[in-house]
Each structure stands twice: as structure tokens, then as C-alpha cells.
Amino acid sequence: EAAECTFSRMTIKLRDRLAELNNPVTSKKYLGDSTSLEGDADLKDRFKPLIFGDVNYITPVLTDEALQIYQVSSNPIDTAGIVILEGGQLAPSRGADYTSSADLIANAPAANQYRVWPEGGYIRLQFTPNQILTARVYAADDSRNVGECLKLLAIAAGWPAAEINAADVAYLDGAAQGTTNLYIDNGGTALDLMNQLAQGRGIWFGPDRLGVLRMGLLEEPTGTPDLALTRT
């Protein structure tokens, strides 16, 4: 990491390359400039929400009260996977998806409908919620797979994609580890989120001696042992 020198001593500070993952996975924040997509002053400098995998019962961020525009994620979402609920019940019917931010702002949904702009992660309602509004949202990428999600988190923190072992990612994607469901609205670091994802799944990750990010499962050994160690 660094070298400190005096007249009689040189101290070389070392660090594991995992320190490079101790960076936020997003730098996107609301401008708070009172525009439909950036919110008012209350949202200024608040991190925009970001999802990895499939998330349930998140609370959308209201960015324009007059137009009833909300954001569920700052990364693209799966257009087939989003469901809006009001008070835990399915919201009124959904209209056709928006194709751009301009389309979102210019065209209101039909009465008692909502519409989605998948690329920007925004929704617009044509009704005023009387109860808590929540959403089920799926990311448009493959981050619902554990290996792919770990890879995308590392890349978001600045780790070069070429320095992640692709075979390890594919192996974890194929292992029965369930789907991921990360919702980030506070700029969490990749290292914390990757640890959160690995815990309880028996997953390990870390750089090898060549600096390549490796990952895998801690599994029971099989076959005939080369050496058996006992208490004695």
C-alpha cells in the first residue's frame, strides 16, 4: 500500500487486494433540483436505489409528487418482473411500458393504471395511493445468479472484469444456492455486500497470488484421503 522512510528504518505497509472492494457499488445520487426524475431538495445527495437479483417489498422513492413518479432502481429492471402493491394488495392494472424519460414525463397512464420505464427503473401512477406503496422488482441482468452477482458487485467497485475467474463464476451460477436479492439505497460497499451474499451459503472469495478474484463453495471432501489427521 505504501512505504514510510526515516533515516534508520523503512516500513512497507501491505494490504490484501480485497481492500479494492471496499468501495461503494454506486455513486449515483439525486440532484434534488425539483425535476421529475431527480426529486426535490429533500432528496438532494441521497443515493439512488440499486438492485441485484430479485427483491420484494421495497418502498419506491417518490421523485415527483405532482406526476406521481417513483423510482425503484437506478439500474435497468426486468419489464416482466415488476409488480406494484398498495397496502400489500396488487395495485390497479398496468399500462404499456414507457420507452424513454421524455415519454414518462409527457404521458400519464390511463385512470387507475401505472406504467413502467424499465431502462430507468421508474414507475408512474395515475392514482393516489391511500396505503403504503411497495414493489417486487427483478434486475434486467443475470445478477439473480450468485456467481454473476458477486462478479457484478466487484466490477461496480472498480475490479477489472478481466481479472475475475470466469469458470468460478459459472460454477457458482450452476450450484444450487438460490437467487440473490440485494437492495442498496445507502451506497454500501462491494466488500460488505459480497460478504452478506456469501454468508449462510458456504461461499468463499478472494484474490489468488496472481491477483485474480476467485470464488467457490466450501464443500465436504470426497474420495480417498491422502492423509487422515486424528487427535493424536
Q: For residue range 121-168, list pLDDT tens digits in order.
A: 999 999 989 899 999 999 999 999 999 999 999 999 999 999 999 999
Arithmetic mean of pLDDT, 177-200: 90
Contact 23, 190 (CB under 8 A): yes
Q: How confident is the model at residue 76 (pLDDT cuts 50, 70, 90)?
A: very high
Residue 3 pLDDT more than 90?
Answer: yes
Q: For the whole model, what pTM was predicted?
A: 0.84
Band (87; pLDDT cuts 50, 70, 90):
confident
- What per-residue confidence (pLDDT) applies to 138? 94
How far is Cα 64 from Cα 161, in angstroms, rounded to an integer?
37
Q: What is the C-alpha to C-alpha distance for residues 101 and 117, in angstroms, rounded to an integer? A: 7
* CB crowding 51-79: b at 16 or more within 10 Å, else e: bbbbbeebebbbbbeeebbbbbbbbebee
